[in-house]
Chain A
Amino acid sequence: MKKSRREIIETSLNQIEGMVHVGPLTQHPVIQDQFGTKITLQVEDNEYPFDVNILSQYPYQFREFETIHFQNKDYAQYPFVSPEGVVCIHTSQSGDLASKLYKDIEGLKRWVKDTIISQSKSKHYEHLILPNTGTRPRRNFLFTDVPCNFMEGDFGFFYYSNQSHKKAGQHTYETYLIQDFDKGYSHCDWSLAYRDQRHKRYQGFYAFLSSPPNREGEPRFAVTRWEQLETYLSQDFLSFMWSELKKNKKLGRDKVIPLLLGYSIAPNKVHWQVSTFPSSQIPNYGQATATKGKYIGRLKDMEIHWDQTHDSSYELFFGRGKLSDQLTQGKILIIGVGAIGSILAKSLTRGGARHICLCDFDLKEPGNICRSEYNFAAGVVPKINELSESLQAISPFVNVSHSPFWTDLLISLPIDNLISQISAQGLDHFDYIFDCSANGDMLHLLDRLKPEARVISMAISNQAQELVCCSGKDLYRKNQKLFSRLTNTSTDMYNPTGCWNPTFKASYNDIAVLVEFALKQLNLRLASDRPTNNFVLKTQGQDSFGIKLEEF
């Protein structure tokens, strides 16, 4: 007969090595599959008791959280433990109840050994634990690097702009972008689009502390009452804040004033926490001293409303993955932003590119959308305008410029014309020029102009059966030669209704898979300081797909 859930849990817990006590299993009064018990583990020479709560979803995770909780409030001061004393462990997944239980108890033993016994401190910075927001709006302040060195005791104003304001379910989500600090008029490292002065700025206070504002004796928990901040804030700051709150009517947004508290978490790395208070409930006051007319700044015994901050610096924004610095730090010009150019631009942006210039004269029409990076909602607009906005919407670090006329100028004027020469010299400001225009004349022109930048051309054959990527000089000849060798000579073109110009056939998927492959190949070479080479990507197979890289 098959064992019940209860029996498996009881048997498994009792069989685990080091388990010195397992209490009776109690069933949740309503949820049938949820159980609780008490265990005591022996690790090395000591015993460690825990309350265990096994949720109904166990052994599955729920929303990426473990569904077994090991709790002991006495351990709340240790790393990786919630304020309620629940130890945060993550073990590998298993659909088998007994083996998952075994893995989790083993994980718990490791935590005891590393954290309680060895007292090993992780170098990984762990955020302060903040109390729940409750029903207040979810305010999120995004910050990035600032080109100045904050010192303990620094204070002043900071400025922020509204990023978004959305209601979802019962909550309102507000996102703000920290823009500037009045210390040396330092601007945060956002792209120009996000630093645009047209975004309305709001004013708040900042103070730089010597250490995170945690509760006394509890380094992982943020202080909860304003008066607990007195040991962190100087009299000068409290005096400044008091006088500004009295006279400055421009502070905050919607009568909510933020106080940003910064501290160092690593060399050259700063973290900020933010608390907000309504302008009607000022948290500080002046207390009279024995000397007549002299006051000291005090903070009230009043709850602190902590809001969320997010370190969105370039390093963390692209921490999970980016393209090589050679590409991301380079100045990139993309000529032609049809299917290939727009896909390339988005991939470069998501890969961390900081400077992209788009050049195309064309309008985006509904028929373009199915195979490029444009949206129906944006309507019929110049491609470069819509794509610029899309790229800026993705990354706060990409500076995007665009021009519909530049290549027009180059191609329209004789090569010795002064304006043409100036335009050509403009090309020398770039490190990489991607020609995705599929325009042979443009290639010819680039060959003649011989810009300092690395010129890379990318074009596909009909039905995206091949992609040809050439670099350096002599691009016209190389493309001519390599395209002339392609076996695909399909003339099955798409003829848009009422249009005189047939176009190639290929889906977004057909094109994107080749463009991403090509970018991967280019990035691989650049990342290892090797010059980009010339190659053809050939798709293979009717029934199963493959891409063959042919290098020249």
Chain B
Amino acid sequence: MVNDINQYLEAVLKSYKIQEDGDLLKKHQDRRTEIREILQGLYPSVIYSPFDSGSYAKRTAINESYDLDLVVPFKKNAFANLTDMYESLYKFFGLYLKNQARVRRQAVSIGIEFLPDCDGDVVRIDLVPAMELEMNSYPEDPRLNLSVNQVMGRVPIGTTKLRTNIAAQMAGIKQDSKKGDIRKIIRLLKILKYHETIYAKSFLIELIVIKAFKKMTPGTLVENLQATLRYIYNEIERINLPDPGNGMNNIADTLSYKEKRDFSIAMLHMIEQLEDDPGMIDYYFPFSSKVDPPAEYADMAAGATIPTDTRFG
């Protein structure tokens, strides 16, 4: 039973923290280095230095769905076009990692999920192939073009150029999320995403939480959470979320109208359930399975069982 919700949420957030000296981070970093070296060997003269752009770099990662995003900037003459760039890398890693990992197409990235290792850990790297705007422009102009390979909300497949400045994106979010509980709320929403209560890109979550905080009077962690949920419920269907890397990209468009509606309804269900029964907080925000919960909450994790005489089929 949860008595102090603020205290409970803090404990939950802690359980999802990535241990900086832990094995999982090291395993991810090792794989990232391996992939980076493969790419640099494969395209020696047409590749710039790949860099990490993901949630770990932005300090909003959670350990259950942890992955490393690796942006791979190519020179303009490396491939005939963006599709060719994406397909070449997708096919290469599909073959190269055939028995080691599951390689799948994602909206703008290539998802590489390595098979569980002897500790049961799964390393996930999201590879984002990107291309400079003009030949040799990248060192001066960090904007990059991405290839859109799946329908992404209202952004159709085959959108030839999704132009962004990933470095600026990261800098913006890193800067904005320092304020108050923004990072904590982003991480709480990522927990909701991991547990399939909501379905949205992490980038969208980050931007909408930052925007919610601009409209609210900060309070306790749970008050900030409630205010954010309510903000999303009210605004998600009409909000614009400009990409800090390119104001022309509206990140809200990565959700379709239907998906926005679902997001809003999911928020409403949560708000109502939590108002009706604050004890439902542990339904939406359980402890991470990666670590044992603190002693005071131990009965809520592994010890909880379904009584045999209540559930029938």
Residues of A within 8 A of B (CB): 336, 338-341, 436-438, 440, 443, 458-462, 468, 471-474, 476-483, 485-486, 489, 491, 493, 502-504, 506, 528-531, 533, 551-552
B286 at the interface (CB under 8 A from A): yes
Interface of B (DSSP majority class): loop
B196 at the interface (CB under 8 A from A): yes
Q: How far is the CA of A477 from the CA of B302 in the complex (A)?
A: 9
B312 / chain A contacts, CB cutoff of 8 Å: 438, 459-462, 503-504, 506
B195 at the interface (CB under 8 A from A): yes
Q: How far is the CA of A437 from the CA of B266 in the complex (A)?
A: 28
Which residues between 244 and 288 of chain B lie within 8 Å of chain A, taking CB atoms?
Answer: 258-259, 262, 265-266, 269-270, 273, 277, 280, 282-283, 286
A473 / chain B contacts, CB cutoff of 8 Å: 195-196
Contact B304 A480 (CB under 8 A): yes
A476 / chain B contacts, CB cutoff of 8 Å: 306
Contact B196 A486 (CB under 8 A): no
Add 18 more A-B contacts to A340-B313, A477-B304 (CB < 8 A): A436-B313, A440-B305, A460-B311, A460-B313, A461-B311, A462-B312, A473-B196, A474-B195, A479-B311, A481-B280, A481-B283, A491-B309, A529-B258, A531-B199, A551-B269, A552-B269, A552-B270, A552-B283
Closest A residue to B273 by beta carbon equals A552
Contact B313 A437 (CB under 8 A): yes
B196 / chain A contacts, CB cutoff of 8 Å: 471-473, 531
Q: How far is the CA of A38 from the CA of B274 in the complex (A)?
A: 75
B195 / chain A contacts, CB cutoff of 8 Å: 472-474
Smallest CB–CB gap between A465 and chain B, Å? 11
B3 / chain A contacts, CB cutoff of 8 Å: none
Contact A486 B310 (CB under 8 A): yes
Closest B residue to A336 by beta carbon equals B313
B45 at the interface (CB under 8 A from A): no
Closest A residue to B312 by beta carbon equals A504
Which residues between 294 and 313 of chain B lie within 8 Å of chain A, taking CB atoms?
Answer: 304-313
B259 / chain A contacts, CB cutoff of 8 Å: 530
Can you list 11 A-B contacts (CB < 8 A)?
Answer: A438-B313, A460-B312, A460-B313, A472-B195, A480-B305, A483-B311, A530-B259, A531-B196, A531-B199, A551-B269, A552-B269
Smallest CB–CB gap between A474 and chain B, Å? 6
Number of A-B contacts (CB under 8 A): 80
Q: How far is the CA of A438 from the CA of B270 in the complex (A)?
A: 26
Contact B286 A474 (CB under 8 A): yes
A486 / chain B contacts, CB cutoff of 8 Å: 310
Q: How far is the CA of A529 from the CA of B262 in the complex (A)?
A: 11
Smallest CB–CB gap between A160 and chain B, Å? 41
Smallest CB–CB gap between B251 and chain A, Å? 20
Smallest CB–CB gap between B63 and chain A, Å? 15
How many residues on the B side are at the interface (Cβ–Cβ under 8 A)? 27
Contact A479 B306 (CB under 8 A): yes
B269 / chain A contacts, CB cutoff of 8 Å: 551-552
Residues of B within 8 A of A (CB): 195-197, 199, 258-259, 262, 265-266, 269-270, 273, 277, 280, 282-283, 286, 304-313
Contact B283 A440 (CB under 8 A): no
Q: How far is the CA of A472 from the CA of B65 in the complex (A)?
A: 15
A474 / chain B contacts, CB cutoff of 8 Å: 195, 286
User: Which of B196, B265, B310 neighbours the largest number of chain A CB atoms within 10 Å of its CB?
Assistant: B310
Closest B residue to A489 by beta carbon equals B310
User: Which of B266, B280, B286, B306 neighbours the largest number of chain A CB atoms within 10 Å of its CB?
Assistant: B306
Contact A493 B309 (CB under 8 A): yes
Smallest CB–CB gap between A195 and chain B, Å? 33
Q: How far is the CA of A552 from the CA of B277 in the complex (A)?
A: 12
A437 / chain B contacts, CB cutoff of 8 Å: 313
Contact B306 A478 (CB under 8 A): no
Among B258, B307, B308, B310, which residue has its beta carbon within 8 angstroms of that of A530? B258
Contact B311 A481 (CB under 8 A): no
B309 / chain A contacts, CB cutoff of 8 Å: 462, 491, 493, 502
B270 / chain A contacts, CB cutoff of 8 Å: 552
Q: How far is the CA of A478 from the CA of B269 in the complex (A)?
A: 15
A341 / chain B contacts, CB cutoff of 8 Å: 313
A506 / chain B contacts, CB cutoff of 8 Å: 312
Q: Given A339-B313, A481-B282, do A440 and B199 touch, yes or no (CB 8 Å)?
A: no
B280 / chain A contacts, CB cutoff of 8 Å: 481, 485, 552
Among B199, B273, B277, B283, which residue has its beta carbon within 8 angstroms of that of A478? B283
Smallest CB–CB gap between B274 and chain A, Å? 11
Q: How far is the CA of A459 from the CA of B307 in the complex (A)?
A: 13
Smallest CB–CB gap between B32 and chain A, Å? 24
Q: How far is the CA of A339 from the CA of B313 in the complex (A)?
A: 6
A472 / chain B contacts, CB cutoff of 8 Å: 195-196
Closest B residue to A471 by beta carbon equals B196
Contact B313 A480 (CB under 8 A): no
Closest B residue to A491 by beta carbon equals B309
Give the 5 A-B residue pairs with the shortest CB-CB distance, closest first.
A438-B313, A440-B306, A504-B312, A472-B196, A340-B313
Q: How far is the CA of A471 from the CA of B282 in the complex (A)?
A: 17
Closest B residue to A337 by beta carbon equals B313
A480 / chain B contacts, CB cutoff of 8 Å: 304-306
Contact A530 B283 (CB under 8 A): no
Contact B286 A462 (CB under 8 A): no
B283 / chain A contacts, CB cutoff of 8 Å: 478, 481-482, 552
Q: How far is the CA of A493 from the CA of B310 in the complex (A)?
A: 11
Smallest CB–CB gap between B141 and chain A, Å? 38
Closest A residue to B306 by beta carbon equals A440
Contact A438 B311 (CB under 8 A): yes
Q: How far is the CA of A443 from the CA of B304 in the complex (A)?
A: 13
Q: How far is the CA of A341 from the CA of B305 in the complex (A)?
A: 23
Closest B residue to A528 by beta carbon equals B258
Contact A483 B313 (CB under 8 A): no
Q: How far is the CA of A394 from the CA of B45 in the complex (A)?
A: 64
A491 / chain B contacts, CB cutoff of 8 Å: 309
Q: How far is the CA of A485 from the CA of B279 in the complex (A)?
A: 10
Smallest CB–CB gap between A439 and chain B, Å? 8
Contact A459 B311 (CB under 8 A): yes
Q: How far is the CA of A338 from the CA of B313 in the complex (A)?
A: 6
Closest A residue to B313 by beta carbon equals A438
Q: How far is the CA of A76 from the CA of B307 in the complex (A)?
A: 72
Smallest CB–CB gap between A521 and chain B, Å? 13
B199 / chain A contacts, CB cutoff of 8 Å: 531
Smallest CB–CB gap between B196 and chain A, Å? 4
Q: How far is the CA of A552 from the CA of B280 in the complex (A)?
A: 10
Q: How far is the CA of A551 from the CA of B266 in the complex (A)?
A: 8
Q: How far is the CA of A341 from the CA of B262 in the complex (A)?
A: 29
A339 / chain B contacts, CB cutoff of 8 Å: 313
Among B197, B273, B286, B311, which residue has its beta carbon within 8 angstroms of that of A440? B311
Contact B273 A459 (CB under 8 A): no
User: Which of B262, B309, B311 neighbours the largest number of chain A CB atoms within 10 Å of its CB?
Assistant: B311
A479 / chain B contacts, CB cutoff of 8 Å: 306, 311
Smallest CB–CB gap between B149 and chain A, Å? 18
Closest B residue to A506 by beta carbon equals B312
B197 / chain A contacts, CB cutoff of 8 Å: 552
Q: How far is the CA of A303 from the CA of B128 in the complex (A)?
A: 74
B262 / chain A contacts, CB cutoff of 8 Å: 530
Smallest CB–CB gap between B75 and chain A, Å? 37
Q: How far is the CA of A481 from the CA of B269 in the complex (A)?
A: 16
Q: How far is the CA of A478 from the CA of B196 in the complex (A)?
A: 12
Q: Given A474-B286, A552-B283, do A483 and B273 touch, yes or no (CB 8 Å)?
A: no
Smallest CB–CB gap between B184 and chain A, Å? 22
Q: How far is the CA of A533 from the CA of B282 in the complex (A)?
A: 17
B307 / chain A contacts, CB cutoff of 8 Å: 483
